[in-house]
């Protein structure tokens, strides 16, 4: 298997995705069905697959779930709406309002099953009073381009929303809410998954304003006004959240563990670097290249291959006009720093199949990556400066394209040292 390093790395990534498929494990986390109405709602890139898993266990259900374009699944009773991600669109806005209307009709004998995964921050969109939808889109775009970590981005988005920060669960009160979550955030804190629509929040308006200032993001007067006076996030102690339960049933650590087990069975020594790494993608790529070369220098003949595994969520500060996401940018910086080092191969992909905004999961790197670039007249450093990692790897046949994976447990990175 290790005779084909890039195929081996891809098989590890596929295993990490497979273990996080909601059809494998969601059913065992379902609560008892209520005496009253059961309503299923949800949002995220994995939410339609989660809804499919619910109906596989319970049969047709009433409800509404919002997922990314191309990520819909066939359901018997639950309506699946596809909308834009990562910048919200009118389809997501309209569906979110219908979801809030549906929740407002429930009583204390009813149960809401909320299915939340990464991507819900963009797909559940209902701006606070006084902020227009186009203004909300502009703020989201600016945050995405700034290089701000996802946790800080979500603080701002929560305070500009009528549905995030516990407000979805509050809208269902007095009905009980049982939320099942797939984690795509470092640390697996439910408050950060999808901007916590079913989880109370302690951040303040001042925090959101400080984040905008930190990342030099200019906003319209209406947005600044809302962030001074009109937050709607729900405090965790609010009585409307007293009948809400949140449970994570799939997380990055589980996927990395499954990949690690597969690698050990293939004879590798596995070193886990962490499942919650954050930071600038290009910087971490350079750091991991240095680590990989140090490991390679320390190996002696006969040593087992070493696999460096990591997860988390990296960011990109956009300075160019290229096409690329954090995983591809990590790979490009890694390849440049490795400079063709013998026996080192790598893969970095987003488990949802979408790295940044393109329908490309990520990329693979080998000792010949820079040679291939030279053969087609590409300057890897220029591509990195333009944030054009996807364009670079398309030209050297290094892209990983999976299509919709129907799950989302964050980034998967593996470096194989032979």
Domain harbouring 171, CATH code: 3.40.50.10180
Q: Are residues 104 and 143 in the same domain?
A: yes
Average pLDDT of the chain? 95
d(CA 133, CA 130): 10
Same domain, 197 and 78: yes
With 0-12 / 13-18 / 19 or more C-beta atoms within 10 angstroms meaning exposed / middle / buried, residue 36 is: middle
pLDDT digits (tens, 9 = 90+) for 53-102: 999 999 999 999 999 999 999 999 999 999 999 899 999 999 999 999 99
Looking at 189, 215, 250, which one is the last position of a domain?
Answer: 250
Q: What is the CATH number of the domain that holds 327?
A: 3.40.1480.10
| Residues counted in the chain | 418
Q: Which of 54, 51, 90, 57 is nearest to 71 (CA)?
A: 51
In a domain, 333, yes or no: yes
71, two tokens: 């990520």
Domain membership of residue 291 as a residue range: 5-16+253-417
**Cα dist. 264→253, 257, 260 in Å?**
16, 10, 6
Gap between the Cα atoms of 360 and 347, Å rounded: 13
65 close to 47: Cβ distance less than 8 angstroms: yes
**Are 211 and 352 in a shared domain?**
no
DSSP helix/strand/coil, 144: helix
Q: Exposed, middle or buried, 269 (CB in 10 Å: 0-12/13-18/19+)?
A: middle
Mean pLDDT of 137-163: 90
Average pLDDT for residues 257-280, to the nearest whole number?
Answer: 97
Q: What is the pLDDT of residues 159-201, one digit of tens each?
A: 999 999 999 999 999 999 999 999 998 889 999 999 999 999 9
Do residue 237 and residue 367 come from a single domain?
no
Instruction: Name the pLDDT band for 275 (thresholds 50, 70, 90).
Output: very high
Cβ 134 vs Cβ 125: under 8 Å: no
Reported as a pLDDT band with limits 50, 70 and 90, residue 38 is very high
Residue 98 shares a structural domain with residue 186: yes
The least confident of 147-151, 171-175, 274-278, 392-396 is 147-151
For residues 413 and 268, membership in a common domain is answered with yes
Domain count, the chain: 2
Mean pLDDT throughout 96-124? 96
Backbone phi and psi for residue 278, each to the nearest 5 degrees, phi listed first = -130, 175
pLDDT digits 0-9 by tens, 250-266? 999 999 999 999 999 99
Average pLDDT (333-355) is 97
How many angstroms separate the CA atoms of 57 and 160, rounded?
36
Same domain? For 93 and 112 the reply is: yes
What is the rounded CA–CA span in Å between residue 230 and residue 244? 24
* Contact yes or no for 125/96 (Cβ under 8 A): yes
Whether 22 is covered by a domain: the verdict is: no
pLDDT, one tens digit per residue, over 349-388 is 999 999 987 789 999 999 999 999 999 999 999 999 999 9
Do residues 48 and 189 both lie within one domain?
yes
Question: Residue 342 in contact with residue 366, Cβ under 8 Å?
Answer: no
- Residue 49, pLDDT > 90, answer yes
pLDDT confidence tier of residue 34, bands split at 50, 70 and 90: confident
DSSP 3-state of 23: helix
The answer to whether residues 260 and 382 belong to one domain is: yes
Contacts of 119 (CB under 8 A, 6+ apart): 43, 44, 45, 46, 47, 67, 68, 85, 86, 184, 194, 352, 408
How confident is the model at residue 372, as a pLDDT? 98
pLDDT of residue 181: 98
**CA-to-CA distance for 130 and 264, rounded, in angstroms?**
56
CA atoms of 177 and 168, how far apart (whole Å): 10
Domain assignment of residue 326, yes or no: yes
> Left (φ > 0), alpha (ψ -120 to 50) or beta: where does 339 sit?
left
pLDDT at position 1: 62
% of the chain with per-residue pLDDT over 90: 88
Instruction: Identify which has the larger pLDDT, 322 or 97.
Output: 97
In the DSSP assignment, the letter for residue 190 is T
């Amino acid at each position: 298997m290790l005779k084909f390093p890039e195929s081996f790395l891809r098989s590890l990534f596929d295993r990490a995705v497979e273990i996080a498929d909601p059809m494998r494990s969601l059913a065992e986390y379902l609560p008892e069905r209520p005496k009253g109405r059961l309503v299923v709602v949800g949002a995220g890139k994995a939410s339609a697959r989660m809804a499919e898993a619910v109906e596989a266990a319970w049969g047709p259900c009433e409800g509404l779930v919002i997922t990314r374009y191309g990520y819909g699944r066939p359901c018997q009773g639950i309506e699946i709406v596809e909308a834009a991600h990562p910048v919200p669109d009118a389809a997501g806005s309209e569906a979110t309002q219908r979801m809030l209307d549906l929740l407002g009709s429930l009583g204390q004998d009813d149960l809401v099953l909320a299915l939340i995964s990464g991507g819900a921050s963009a797909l559940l969109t209902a701006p606070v009073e006084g902020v227009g939808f186009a203004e909300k889109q502009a703020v989201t775009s600016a945050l995405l381009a700034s290089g701000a970590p996802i946790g800080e981005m979500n603080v701002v988005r929560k305070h500009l929303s009528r549905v995030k920060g516990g407000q979805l669960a509050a809208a269902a009160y007095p009905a009980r809410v049982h939320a099942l979550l797939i984690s795509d955030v470092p640390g697996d804190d439910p408050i950060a998954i999808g901007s916590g629509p079913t989880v109370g929040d302690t951040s303040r308006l001042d925090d959101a304003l400080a984040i905008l200032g930190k990342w030099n993001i200019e906003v319209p007067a209406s947005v600044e006004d809302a962030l001074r006076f009109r937050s709607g996030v729900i405090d965790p102690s609010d009585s409307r959240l007293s009948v809400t339960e949140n449970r994570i049933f799939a997380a990055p650590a589980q996927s990395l563990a499954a990949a690690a087990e597969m690698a050990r069975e293939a004879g590798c020594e596995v070193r886990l670097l962490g499942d919650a790494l954050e930071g600038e993608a290009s910087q971490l790529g350079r750091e991991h290249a240095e680590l990989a070369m140090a490991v390679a220098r320390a190996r002696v003949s006969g040593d087992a291959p070493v696999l460096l595994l990591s997860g988390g969520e990296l960011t990109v500060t956009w300075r160019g006009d290229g096409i690329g996401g954090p995983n591809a940018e990590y790979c490009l910086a890694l390849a440049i720093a490795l400079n063709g080092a013998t026996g080192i191969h790598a893969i970095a992909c987003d488990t949802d199949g979408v790295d940044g905004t393109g329908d490309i999961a990520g990329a693979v790197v080998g000792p010949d990556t820079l040679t291939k670039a030279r053969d087609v007249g590409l300057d890897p450093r220029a591509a990195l400066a333009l944030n054009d990692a996807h364009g670079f790897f398309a030209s050297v046949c290094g892209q990983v394209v999976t299509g919709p994976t129907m799950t989302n447990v964050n980034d998967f990175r593996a470096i194989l040292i032979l």
